[in-house]
């Protein structure tokens, strides 16, 4: 039987993965809420009062898009990697593999559900930020486009992480010691314009710079990089990683004993 994305089985898996985190809001949404209240309070209000405007924006407003990106991609990655690894660990992913779902449907269900968690967390962080400073949307199209692309990208990367991890500690290492440092050095707390030429060039090698600046362009209409080029490159990278996910599923990489 030909598999299609409008099939009942696809939506059944998508719904299951969506409900996985929606049914536990205190574990899913409360931690990023508390963390970002602290970020906005310490970095935005206390420290921000002592920092001059950056590119014409108050520090707390300049900070907000980066925190949205950090929360969104962390949760998208964490959701996908944990879901895949937990399914492997407890063997119930075999039920999905033996279902009539195509490998593309399996991957897209995991990716879309995880990306939705990232988007929801990003919106929550933006709302929290609005409690501390007036927040506008200068470029709605770019904001929506970048939020979708970066969450889809990290949800698909999360699948790779879930497949290659040997234990739960590996998932923590990926998120806390690889992902977060890249984001922090990706222009969340500063503009690339204040860096010396050498370090500005080095920073451009960090893909997080393009994600943070893309979302910043959506909120503020300002970016240190070309948003069109960044969106095109990130979109292509997202498609490439999704294809890799499908290939890994088709080969059974990490899924079978």
pLDDT at 1: 38
Burial of 188 (0-12, 13-18, 19+ CB in 10 A): buried
Is there a domain that residue 11 lies in?
no
Q: What is the pLDDT of residues 223-245, one digit of tens each?
A: 999 999 999 999 999 999 999 99
Is there a domain that residue 18 lies in?
no
Please give the share of the chain, as a percent, with pLDDT higher than 90. Answer: 56
Encoding tokens for residue 58?
């108050």
* C-alpha–C-alpha distance, residues 24 and 29, integer Å: 8
Where residue 41 falls among pLDDT bands split at 50, 70, 90? confident
As beta bridge partners, residue 134 has none
Nearest to 61 by CA among 116, 119, 138: 138
Is there a domain that residue 16 lies in?
no
**For the stretch 63-100, what's the b/e string if a residue is b when 16 or more beta carbons lie within 10 angstroms of its beta carbon?**
bbbbbbbbbbbbbbbbbbbbbbbebbeeeebeebeeee
* C-alpha–C-alpha distance, residues 107 and 163, integer Å: 12
Is there a domain that residue 230 lies in?
yes
Q: What is the pLDDT of residues 112-158, one digit of tens each?
A: 999 999 999 999 999 999 999 899 999 999 999 999 999 999 999 99
Is there a domain that residue 236 lies in?
yes
Q: How many domains does the chain have?
A: 1
The whole domain housing 120 covers 28-251
Is there a domain that residue 88 lies in?
yes
Q: What is the pLDDT of residues 75-108, one digit of tens each?
A: 999 999 999 998 888 888 888 888 888 999 999 9
Global pTM value: 0.91
Is there a domain that residue 21 lies in?
no
Q: Name the DSSP letter for residue 193.
A: G
Residues 111 and 245 sit within 8 Å (Cβ to Cβ) = yes
Is there a domain that residue 33 lies in?
yes
């Amino acid at each position: 039987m030909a598999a299609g994305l409008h099939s009942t089985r696809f939506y059944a898996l998508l719904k299951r993965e969506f409900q996985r985190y929606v049914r536990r809001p205190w574990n899913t949404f409360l931690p990023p809420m508390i963390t970002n209240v602290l970020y906005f309070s310490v970095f935005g209000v206390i420290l921000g009062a002592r920092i001059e405007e950056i590119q014409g924006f108050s520090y707390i407003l300049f900070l907000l898009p980066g925190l949205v990106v950090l929360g969104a991609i962390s949760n998208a990655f964490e959701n996908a990697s944990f879901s895949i690894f937990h399914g492997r660990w407890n063997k119930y992913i075999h039920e999905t593999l033996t279902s009539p779902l195509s490998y593309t449907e399996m991957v897209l269900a995991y990716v879309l559900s995880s990306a939705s968690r990232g988007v929801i967390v990003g919106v929550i962080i933006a709302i929290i930020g609005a409690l501390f400073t007036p927040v506008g949307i200068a470029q709605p199209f770019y904001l929506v486009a970048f939020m979708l692309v970066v969450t889809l990208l990290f949800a698909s990367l999360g699948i790779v992480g879930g497949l290659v991890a040997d234990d739960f500690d590996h998932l923590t290492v990926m998120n806390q010691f690889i992902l977060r440092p890249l984001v922090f050095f990706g222009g969340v707390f500063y503009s690339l314009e204040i860096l010396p030429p050498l370090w500005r060039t080095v920073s451009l090698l960090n893909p997080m710079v393009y994600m943070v600046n893309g979302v910043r362009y959506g909120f503020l209409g300002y970016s240190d990089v070309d948003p069109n080029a960044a969106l095109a490159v990130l979109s292509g990278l997202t498609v490439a990683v999704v294809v890799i996910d499908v290939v890994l599923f088709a080969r059974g990489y990490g899924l079978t004993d």
